[in-house]
Amino acid sequence: MDVDYIVVGTGSAGAVVANRLSADPGVSVLVLEAGPRDRNKFIHIPAAFSKLFRSNVDWDYLTEPQAELDNRRIYWPRGKTLGGSSSMNAMMWVPGFPADYDEWGEHAGADWSYAGLQKYLTRLEAGPLVISPQRSPRRSTAAWLAAAAECGHVGFCQTRVTQRRGARFSTADAYLKPVLRRPNLRLLTESTATRLVFAGDRVIGVEFEKAGVRDIVTARREVILCGGAINSPQLLMLSGIGDGDQLAHHGIEVRHHAPGVGANLLDHLVVPLGFEVPDDSLFAAEKPVELVNYLLRRRGMLTSNVGEAYGFVRSTPDLDLPDLELIFAPAPFFDEGIGDPYGHAVVMGPILLKPRSTGTITLRSADPLAKPVIDPRYLTDEADRTALMAGLRICAEIAGAAALRGVIGKVARPLNATTLDDETLHRALNSLSHTLYHPVGTCRMGRDEDSVVDPQLRVRGVQALRVADASVMPSLIRGHTHAPSVLIGEKAAELIAG
């Protein structure tokens, strides 16, 4: 099969790229998606997203043991279906601060600064992605917001969500499925990209595996990787683009020595503190009355995105901008979302927005179907622990505010503490913290020669290959990565189309 463009991945950026490129009837586009179609019913019911964890639509990754987190292996769910992680995330639309994009601009030039990207952010608010207010937030969410205000924190708010009429609205829903009838666009699902195909230093195609059979599709113009911060660097390394010594260790021919591939891994870490509540938490979301309310009216607990409210704070008053986000979920979201909730509870906790600790994605073997080695090296910079402890103390203060009196009860398992003193908070940080599902940076963009992609998202050292997903972000934003990933898809499509 021979087409003009091959897009690998249908997530927050890939679905956008496929839509925009195929809008030109004069070009042909093939999209490869490793997972199945998004027919799993839990994809579309917002509050059910954790039921997708460790299912057939989840890549189901684990990190290496994290020395600073009691040597725990942290579970990393990633979407393996149409829409990618936009089909299994918490749907939070938090695009970040202008300063975050100005930081990108320092790496990749003025076009990637806030002034250069503002038109894309404005465009995203206008559609086709639907961004909505919460339809049926819990009473405890309003009480938490009141408690935060009582403690002097301003700007806290209910979360806006990527939902349409109370159902999840992924980038596949918004960008890809409406255009699949275009004669110049072809989608192959359950087709895992296994390596890039070269002619000299030019990428001319992609090898993929479907139903146990390997095949190759060729691209006349370009291949665009949109697999995300794990899968895009993995495919580059499998294809000979990465650290030469590591590739040689796995017996992979080195096409281009690029030590930055898989480096600069950044992620948001959250520390959830649970509190027992008497009722009105999402523990009751599966009751028949809630299912009826959802099916007939698209209202009720099943419309919840779980992370119903948030706000930004500074770990120390001398900071110019917040370095922490506080999040509230009226749900017993314990054990990284894969445990069985035992009763009514709510969760609140700090998210470290600008970590100094960085990690790596490396190959476990040359087998393209083997999961890579994920080592985020959480809290290896002591400043990260200090900031999160400050955030935990702020959460403890909010939990004790009058607005939450009678709303929340004692600290929930597994802490089972009578007081949120520093010893308890340190224990929470080590034993409860987990990813907020925002890995970025492993194919960092920049103007410097050490960056993996240039400001046009072209992979250095080879021809006709770009990366367009969260892996190109040179730094984390003070927000959630779904919005800037969609933005990267829009920007990439314009760069490719010229």
Please indicate whether residue 480 is annotated as part of the active site.
yes
b/e map of 310-346 (b: 16 or more CB within 10 Å)?
bbbbbbeeeeeebbbbbbbbbbbbbebbeeebeebbb
In whole angstroms, what is the distance from residue 332 CA to residue 329 CA?
8
Whether the CA torsion 98, 101, 103, 108 is positive or negative: it is negative
Q: Which of 44, 107, 438, 482 is catalytic?
A: 438
Which has the closest alpha carbon to 75: 332, 333, 374, 341? 374
- Give φ, ψ of 137 to 5 degrees: -65, 155
Question: What is the per-residue DSSP string for 131-142?
Answer: -B--SS--HHHH
Tokens of 263: 């480096």
Interior CA angle at 188 toward 92 and 198, to 5°?
105
Q: Which of 268, 344, 480, 482 is catalytic?
A: 480
In whole angstroms, what is the distance from residue 372 CA to residue 133 CA?
37
Tokens of 239: 């294809």
Kindly report the length of the chain: 498
Tokens of 197: 């195909």
CA dihedral 127, 109, 493, 175 (to 10 degrees): -30
In whole angstroms, what is the distance from residue 333 CA to residue 329 CA?
8
Q: Looking up tokens 């990190």, which residue turns up?
A: 63
Q: Looking up tokens 């099916």, which residue turns up?
A: 295
Answer for the pair 80, 59: CB distance below 8 angstroms, yes or no: yes
Tokens of 418: 């009578």
Tokens of 396: 């403890």
Q: Looking up tokens 């195909």, which residue turns up?
A: 197
Which has the closest alpha carbon to 95: 126, 118, 128, 77? 118
Which has the closest alpha carbon to 17: 227, 326, 220? 227
In whole angstroms, what is the distance from residue 297 CA to residue 305 CA?
17
- Give φ, ψ of 487 to 5 degrees: -60, -45
Whether the CA torsion 484, 489, 495, 498 is positive or negative: it is negative
Please indicate whether residue 268 is annotated as part of the active site.
no
In whole angstroms, what is the distance from residue 476 CA to residue 438 CA?
8
Q: Which residues are catalytic?
A: 438, 480
